[in-house]
Amino acid sequence: MPSNSLRLFRKWNRIIHRDFGYFFFGLTIIYCLSGIALNHKKDWNPNYNISYKEIALTDNLDKSSVNEDQVIKLLKKYNEADHYKKYFFPDNNTLKIFIDNGSVSVDMISGKGYIEKITKRPLFFEINFLHYNPGKWWLWFSDIFCIGMITIAISGLFIISKSKNSLSKRGIWFILAGFVVPVLALIFL
């Protein structure tokens, strides 16, 4: 029969493991989802949806004659007139128009161009914002979260005490395997 101090340790270990797990559940999901999203930045933009629509102008444009009224008239054809902000010429042949959440680019010689619209990706924009530690108080809370995760990991080692799955039997091999993967990554990457 275990001693009173061992029983007390097991009791408080389970309580800490359980309650920290409950408290940090939401933040764990947030960091895991944003971590997956940020791991695949080469494959997609985790913060924004970017859409392109090709356009072709029938009217010829000349840099010297382009004015705001003409730009708004052009935008009306594509239901973007209400979103107009301003325009400029990045070079002699290109008209760039800024609209809410995007832009319009037109090659004035060919009349070809595109409308680019940028919208925040639902859920991922917000969770990635948190992942980037947006403020000092969030930085401190994130540090507390990390300490909580370390506590959950360590206390989890002592949840099962005497079985074939305990730390001293099968568990130690899983712990070692978990360390081997990042070590191999450091060696071979």
Task: Output the CA–CA distances (angstroms, integers) from residue 27 to 30, 47, 107, in the order listed.
Answer: 5, 18, 47
**171 φ, ψ (degrees, to nearest 5):** -60, -40
Structure confidence at residue 6 (pLDDT): 85
Extents of the domains making up the chain: 4-44+123-158, 48-120
The tens place of each residue's pLDDT in the chain, 189 residues long, gives 568 888 899 899 999 999 999 999 999 999 999 999 999 999 999 999 999 999 998 877 888 889 999 999 999 999 999 999 999 999 999 999 999 999 999 999 999 999 999 999 999 999 999 988 888 999 999 999 999 999 999 998 888 766 666 676 777 888 899 999 999 999 998
Q: Give the integer Cα–Cα distance in Å for 168 and 165.
A: 8
What letter represents residue 43's amino acid? D
CA distance 82 to 76: 8
88-125 confidence digits (pLDDT tens): 999 999 999 999 999 999 999 999 999 999 999 999 99
99 with 84: CB under 8 angstroms?
Answer: yes
pLDDT value at residue 164: 64
Two structure tokens written together for 101: 């959440």
Q: What is the pLDDT of residue 96?
A: 97
What torsion, rounded to 10 degrees, do the Cα atoms 179, 183, 188, 189 define? 90
Residue type at 106?
Answer: V
